[in-house]
Amino acid sequence: MRKLQLVLVAATASALTALAAVAGFAEAQSAVPPSNAENPSVVGTAQDGQLLVAKDGEWAGTNPMTFTYQWQRCNTAGACVDVANATAKAYRVATADVGSRLRVRVSARNADGTAAEATAQTAVVVAPAGAQRLADGKFSIPASSVNMPDRLVLTGLQFTPTVLRSRAPFTGRFRVTDTRGYVVRDAIVLVTGVPLGWITAPQEVTTNVDGFATIQLQPTTRLRLVRGGSMVMFVRARKQGDDLLAGISTRRLVRVRTASPATS
């Protein structure tokens, strides 16, 4: 009986050793780093403001597997550089991308290693619908092409004369762009004196293709012509059909310096 017990113990130990060897072999066989079986790709339209999404493609290797992303901007020669902070699965096309192509580098990682594969490049990124390139290289877009979360911005303020020495009419030019840097045509601009009554109430004026609205402003007798003074105005720009105080509209306080009337 004693010999039989020893034989059984030896057989059991041998079986366990064999099972351990098989398990170790299976584990060694399953330790496979990622390798790409089908290229990743980009889904979406290559247009400023549009959303592009990376598809991971197919990968072989030990699971579980995780993926990370790096979007890249490519020039006409095919050279690509990383887009700063663009490491999510989705990417919102930016104004800086117009004229370039985009791609995304997908990296797969598991416990046994890491591998990466880049997608094919997108078509050349285009400006929003209705965009026109101006002589200064900027793009002009209709106000109807601007939608939240982008907004209008009042820039390029010009006044003639730059200092008011009389209550004669003066001219204001107000350029409207959007938060992406596009020049905006067909935006509606209104200028109001602050306090009310310091200039006569002008009509709303729409911006031209260059983004400028030119408005003739008429001071009233309430304007004080003093050295170091100023004419303050409230300027609003909006899109046709938007709520006056909501949507993509913008508002800004501006001023023109005044001086004592010129003497002959």
Domain of residue 151, CATH code? 2.60.40.10
Q: Which residue has the tokens 């017990």?
A: 5
Could you tell me which residues come within 8 angstroms of residue 241 by beta carbon, excluding any fewer than 6 positions away? none
pTM: 0.68
Question: Which residues, other chains included, contact 173 with Cβ-Cβ below 8 Å and sequence gap of 6+?
Answer: 156, 157, 158, 159, 160, 212, 213, 214, 215
Do 182 and 127 meet the contact criterion of CB atoms below 8 Å apart? yes
Which one of 118, 151, 174 terminates a domain?
Answer: 118
The backbone torsions φ and ψ at residue 91, rounded to the nearest 5 degrees and listed phi first, read -140, 130
The Cβ-side half-sphere exposure at 118, using a 13 Å CA radius, reads: 16
**Percent of the chain's residues with pLDDT above 70:** 88
CB atoms within 10 A of CB 36: 17
Residue bearing the bigger pLDDT, 59 or 203: 59
Helix (H) or strand (E) holding 55: strand 51-55
pLDDT of residue 71: 98
Residue where one domain finishes, among candidates 90, 118, 146: 118
The span from the CA of 104 to the CA of 87, in Å, is 9
pLDDT tens per residue across span 86-136: 999 999 999 899 999 999 999 999 999 999 999 999 999 998 888 998 998
Give the model's confidence band at 45: pLDDT under 50 very low, under 70 low, under 90 confident, else very high. Answer: very high
Query: pLDDT tens across 135-160, in order?
Result: 988 899 999 999 998 999 999 899 99
Per-residue pLDDT tens over the stretch 155-211: 989 999 999 999 999 999 999 999 988 999 999 999 999 998 899 988 899 999 999
Residue-range definition of the domain harbouring residue 166: 132-258
Span 205-222, average pLDDT:
96
Does residue 137 share a domain with residue 97?
no
Q: Do 111 and 223 sit in the same domain of this protein?
A: no
pLDDT band at 9 (very low <50, low <70, confident <90, very high): very low
Structural domain total, the chain:
2
Q: What share of the chain is helix, strand, coil (3-state, %, to 5)?
A: 15, 40, 45
Cβ neighbourhood burial of 119 (10 Å; 0-12, 13-18, 19+): buried
Q: CA geometry: angle at 200 spanning 197 and 202, to 5°?
A: 130
